[in-house]
Structure 1
């Protein structure tokens, strides 16, 4: 119910639900990008991570004290990395949801092309979402 005692219309409820879906899709994709930022050096393969995980697990059998706690943390980090590497296909689903909702979300929130790029969204994904640089962004970039 609204503050003045009137009930929301179906259209108002639909608009709120649409805004929530847009926000969730954009947030999920941006979080994915943040968690999977390219890091320096060669990218590790799932096979390499499994090999490191096996080594850490073997080392844990004889480790004690601080060395043990460090190996436990390293094992946890490697397990997380392996999970991310094996589930990269999930990115496509997140990307498609972002593409579907980002333009409306960005327009509603006043988010510019440059801001999307600074957040890590590729130009190709923005183009597919229908978000293109505007003249103001282009002029700022040239300065």
Structure 2
């Protein structure tokens, strides 16, 4: 399952969808807005995307992760719009029979998502300035 949303990410619902008797490992990764980046104080983040392309890329990542690691479940949710401090902008939940596959697939998913999915982040700083950040 992939989802782009303007709403806060409901991690409990995602974890509930991922759990099954077949899975011995359920891994949740959250990317959260932090207060300081490179010595500057962040007040919030804003995310924007090219929806159709982002959804296509996310679906491709989900399918590839399922194929490579034999996942029982793979959920990728990315928040768009304003994301305040301490709130999640991205959630990845994977479930697999064993932990090694869960950890490997989760790391690959977030790293690859940041490289190939057209989602752009704008940092808003405490001094009132803002800047688009590109990986």
Which one has the bigger helix percentage?
A: 1
More contact order relative to length (CA 8 Å, sep ≥ 6): 2
Which one has the bigger strand percentage?
A: 2
TM-score normalized by the length of structure 1? 0.22
User: Which protein has the larger Cα radius of gyration, Structure 1 or Structure 2?
Assistant: 1
